[in-house]
């Protein structure tokens, strides 16, 4: 009875321990994937925003780029710290497991040694045949045979248990060494990242000191930039309203509505577009998001709020612009200070690609996912190649990060 209870407690402990280790391993895998993503993002930032230092960027662009890089670097350090802390917990749990395994192994070996000794003494004092012959009846003799068989079986099981525990202990020791090695590598990487962050923060402070000498000038620049972005957004909304009115007029519906009159084919396309939410490809093959969707403080002056109805993606020079999903080209339009805009309709959803230097499609064309529709414009004065990308559901903007894969 006592043996069965101990076995039950051990199984429960093993199940709890295995569940805890699995949970930690899953979390460790998630953190490692996030760390790899952030490292890739930093490499892209260096390649796309800081590689060509010969071009003269404005102070505002430099501080924007540097602030972005600092934030990503801080996130990388934070995730690496989380990994190291989780490894510390795993190491402590493993050390506890090793200590318990050693104690169990010692107990098993001691019990096994006592069992062998008893068996040897029993054999020397009295042979098995005499033990059986001394039985008072057949039933007792049968029970003695069963006892000897079970005892022999139990001996073998104890021997096998010792082998299993020894193997488990060796495996745990090996795992412990790997965990300690991984932790040291993470600590070393974080030291390097911390040093790079310090350099970037010093550079950021130096730039901000220069900007603060004439802050009112930069505030005005930010406000003018925001006005220009708002103007382009209003122009896009006006084009969408015109497209809705035209579409509804053809369908014999009221032109004063803010919703498309969709054909069965349009509805199917819209459903397909929604079904791929979060899985759509990037509109450029290589890029980093400099300005995200929604309200956010300006990196120059955090008292000023920036409103972005899409994302601003920095990419490489002469980069191709790709349709993020199949659809119909609704509009190709030159915009003041925004170069050329391409608008693609996916049922009642519209994707907008602004700041193109070349366009390879025309209104009415049907395009496929990842089809090249143009080239991103590169500003000759500062070398910046930036695509403005937005998603609309009729006249309402959407957050592109919810739609584009890993944005």
Q: Mind listing the pLDDT tens digit for each residue in 71-110?
A: 999 999 999 999 999 888 888 887 777 777 677 767 766 7
pLDDT over 70 for what percent of the chain? 77
pLDDT at residue number 329: 97
Give start-end residues of each CATH 2.70.70.10 domain in the chain: 218-402
Please say if the pLDDT value at position 338 is more than 70.
no
Quick one: tokens of 183? 């932790």
How high does pLDDT run on average in the chain?
83
Q: Residue 143's pLDDT band (boundaries 50, 70, 90)?
A: low
Q: Residue 6's pLDDT band (boundaries 50, 70, 90)?
A: very low
Please say if the pLDDT value at position 404 is more than 80.
yes
* pLDDT tens column, 168-205: 767 777 877 888 888 899 999 999 999 999 999 999 89
CA proximity to 248, closest of 394, 391, 396? 394
Judge residue 288's burial from the number of C-beta atoms within 10 Å of its C-beta, 0-12 exposed, 13-18 middle, 19 or more buried: buried
Max avg pLDDT among 109-113, 184-188, 326-330: 326-330
pLDDT at residue number 145: 57
Do residues 278 and 403 make contact, with C-beta atoms less than 8 angstroms apart?
A: yes
Over range 268-272, report the average pLDDT.
96
Q: Residue 9's pLDDT band (boundaries 50, 70, 90)?
A: very low
CA proximity to 94, closest of 211, 23, 180, 197? 180
The DSSP symbol for 335 reads: E
pLDDT at residue number 195: 95
- Report the first-to-last Cα separation within the chain, whole angstroms: 60
3-state secondary structure string across 300-331: CCCCCEEEECCEEEEECCCCEEECCCCEEEEE
Q: Residues of 215-252 as b/e, b for ≥16 C-beta within 10 angstroms?
A: eeebbeebeeebeebeebbebbbebbbebbbebbeeee
Please say if the pLDDT value at position 22 is more than 60.
no
Please count the CA atoms within 13 angstroms of the CA of 24 that sit on its side-chain side. 20
* pLDDT tens column, 273-308: 999 999 999 999 999 999 999 999 988 888 889 999
Over range 228-247, report the average pLDDT.
90
The CATH number of 218-402, from 3.40.1050.10, 2.70.70.10, 3.40.50.620, 1.20.120.160, is: 2.70.70.10
Q: Which residue has the tokens 């098993």?
A: 108
pLDDT at residue number 10: 47
pLDDT at residue number 55: 57
Q: Quote the CA–CA distance of 130 and 141 in Å, as a whole number.
A: 11
Over range 138-161, report the average pLDDT.
63
Against a cut of 0.75, is the pTM above it?
Answer: no
Q: Residue 325's pLDDT band (boundaries 50, 70, 90)?
A: very high
């Amino acid at each position: 009875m006592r043996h069965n209870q101990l076995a039950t407690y051990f199984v429960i402990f093993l199940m709890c321990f295995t569940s805890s280790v699995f949970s930690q391993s899953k979390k460790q895998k998630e953190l490692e994937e996030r760390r790899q993503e952030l490292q890739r993002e930093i490499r892209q930032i260096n390649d796309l925003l800081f590689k060509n230092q010969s071009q003269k960027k404005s102070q505002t662009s430099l501080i924007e780029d540097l602030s972005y890089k600092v934030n990503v670097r801080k996130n990388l350090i934070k995730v690496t710290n989380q990994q190291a802390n989780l490894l510390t917990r795993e190491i402590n749990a493993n050390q506890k497991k090793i200590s318990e395994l050693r104690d169990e192994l010692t107990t098993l070996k001691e019990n096994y040694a006592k069992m062998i000794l008893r068996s040897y003494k029993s054999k020397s004092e009295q042979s098995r045949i005499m033990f059986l012959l001394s039985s008072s009846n057949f039933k007792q003799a049968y029970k003695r045979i069963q006892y000897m068989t079970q005892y022999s079986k139990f001996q073998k099981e104890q021997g096998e248990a010792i082998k299993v525990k020894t193997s488990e202990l060796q495996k745990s020791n090996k795992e412990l060494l790997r965990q300690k090695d991984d932790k040291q590598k993470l600590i070393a990487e974080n030291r390097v990242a911390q040093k790079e962050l310090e350099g970037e923060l010093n550079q950021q402070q130096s730039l901000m000191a220069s900007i603060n000498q004439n802050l009112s000038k930069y505030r005005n620049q930010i406000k003018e930039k925001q006005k220009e972005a708002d103007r382009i957004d209003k122009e896009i909304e006006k084009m969408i309203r015109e497209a809705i009115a035209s579409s509804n007029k053809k369908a014999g519906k009221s032109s004063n509505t803010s919703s498309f009159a969709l054909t069965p084919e349009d509805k199917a396309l819209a459903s397909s577009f929604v079904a791929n939410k979060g899985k759509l490809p990037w509109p450029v093959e290589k890029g980093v998001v400099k300005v995200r969707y929604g309200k956010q403080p300006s990196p120059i002056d955090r008292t000023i709020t920036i409103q972005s109805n899409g994302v601003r993606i920095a990419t490489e020079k002469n980069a191709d612009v790709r349709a993020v999903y199949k659809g119909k080209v609704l509009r190709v339009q030159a915009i003041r200070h925004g170069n050329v805009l391409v608008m693609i309709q996916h049922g009642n959803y519209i994707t907008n690609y602004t700041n193109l230097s070349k366009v390879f499609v025309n209104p009415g064309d049907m395009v496929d996912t990842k089809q090249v529709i143009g080239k991103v414009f590169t500003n000759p004065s500062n070398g910046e190649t930036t695509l403005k990308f937005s998603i609309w559901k009729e006249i309402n903007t959407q957050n592109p990060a919810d739609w584009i894969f890993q944005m």
